[in-house]
Amino acid sequence: MKLSTSFITAALAFSSLASAAPQAEDVEARGIIPLSSAALQALVSRHTLLAHARQFVKFSEQSGGTRAFGSRAHNSTVRYIKTLLDATGFYDTSLQTFPYLYSSGSAEIAANGTALASRWFTYGPSGDVSANLVVVNNLGCDASDYPAAVEGQIALIKRGTCEFGLKTALAGNAKAAGAIIYNNAPEPIAGGTLGSPSREAGPYVPVGSISGADGDRLVADIAAGNTIAGALKVNAVTEDRYTSNVIATTKIGDKNNIVFAGGHTDSVPEGPGINDDGSGTITILDLALRLPLFNFRNAVRFGFWTAEEFGLVGSEHYVTNLPAEEQDKIAVYLNFDMVASPNFGYFIYDGDGSAFNLTGPSGSDHVEKTFEDYFRGKNLRSAPTEFSGRSDYGPFLDVGIPSGGLFTGAEGKKTAQEAQWWGGEAGVDYDICYHKACDGVNNLNVPAWVENTKAAAHAIATYARSLNGIPRGSRSANRKVSVASLSHEERQHYSCGHEIASL
């Protein structure tokens, strides 16, 4: 595909940093700058991080404010990353391209002519429906919950117990013209998917979501005997699209002992994803562009994953298509997903299982300690976060590769104790723009981002120099269920560390 003049200009502006570094052969031969944690940290610049972030925002404008996989903006993001890495001459780079089922859309909902804040569900069909609202019994998880009166009308369904997709299919089975799912908490639903393009339970109908506060009010009005005229308009597209991972491996270093760092390049359809996960992607991109200045013992590989928001698709595709002997060459995997949340916490994946009783493969405890040591050395508090496999490290856990990483929080609430440790506001989401259109540059906590990038530099430099503490040898899968075995619906539970599909 032909690149635009503006794209080339942006890429070349950043490539000047990379091209100024010694070429791989020179570094290997001369070893003029041995890699150290302190030296790599010293090169981290808020200016450069923000410059990349602003470029990602510009890319999102090509696709109406999103960088979702399969969009023009995401393709530009991928090309930008590969162009910069290629310019260094320090990496063997490749695009791993494959098709996956893409879905994007929007929903507009009104009640008695008043517009309500609404969200669309991935894989939901298009449609324009005007009909009365009919309340569904219980939580709409059984066909018997749908009264005969719902035929030809818009089913109003409360979130809970079963998947959004099942509720929507059962509404179609009851011959509803459309469905509105309202949250089981006052706020809006952070994001959602029907999980697959169809279900045996019934045909999908146009569907959108509203907040629990709006839903409860509508239910109360209907219970009082009032008729509520609803309007539901959904514009959507669902189709196979090609998408790519970017893989870059240093030309120097021991290829039998690879230090791997990764983050995902896509956003949700609802926003540009500059924290989620522009922040993690840019962290590893920035460090990858600094490494050509150094010499080190172990090869370093960077994975820029596609379609994480659709269920760890890119990382799973990479790992499952990697021969076992190549998997064995990966000594450790480091994941960086959301590392600049505005109301941040310094969270480290609980590799030793001491906090959440979910232990990673042998060596994951050492990764956790490496990050803990970094923050302790800076007189900063850190805290564990659940090592559940719900981000791109999950497929690496599946094949027994020691893993770890950093996270600054998403839609969870910061506690009073955490506010004492890190500042910010107790009782407020770590990221109030999580999976929203407002996840732009102004949503980034830049000091936290710089600190986490330096922590990433510390871990990468530490393991590139020595794998002491990381066992090498036979491995076994760490989880009973791998992402590869999951359905479309089940995959959507695995995205940015948080469930978005149901319940």
Give the contacts of 451 (CB within 8 A, at least 6 positions apart). 346, 378, 380
Q: Are strands 229-250 and 91-111 parallel, antiparallel or unpaired?
A: antiparallel
Give the contacts of 16 (CB within 8 A, at least 6 positions apart). none
Quote the CA–CA distance of 61 and 45 in Å, as a whole number.
Answer: 25
- Phi-psi label, residue 288: left if phi above 0, alpha if psi -120 to 50, beta otherwise: alpha
Helix (H, G, I), strand (E, B) or coil at 15: helix
Active site annotation includes 163 = no
Q: What is the sign of the dihedral through the CA atoms of 49, 55, 59 and 64?
A: positive
Catalytic-role residue among 163, 270, 308, 489: 308
**Residue 34 CB neighbours (<10 A):** 11
Tokens of 304: 């820029």
Quote the CA–CA distance of 11 and 81 in Å, as a whole number.
Answer: 8
How wide is the angle at C-alpha 491 spanned by C-alphas 443 and 102, nearest 5°?
70
Helix (H, G, I), strand (E, B) or coil at 296: coil
**Residue 9 exposed, middle or buried by CB count within 10 Å (0-12, 13-18, 19+):** exposed
Could you check whether the bond before residue 128 is cis, i.e. omega within 30 degrees of 0?
no
**Of 231, 215, 203, 190, residue with least CA distance to 124:** 203
Q: Between the CA of residue 263 and those of 275, 291, 303, 307, 308, what are the distances in Å?
A: 11, 17, 7, 11, 9
- Phi-psi label, residue 473: left if phi above 0, alpha if psi -120 to 50, beta otherwise: left
Quote the CA–CA distance of 217 and 388 in Å, as a whole number.
Answer: 36
Tokens of 271: 């926003």
Q: Which residues are catalytic?
A: 308
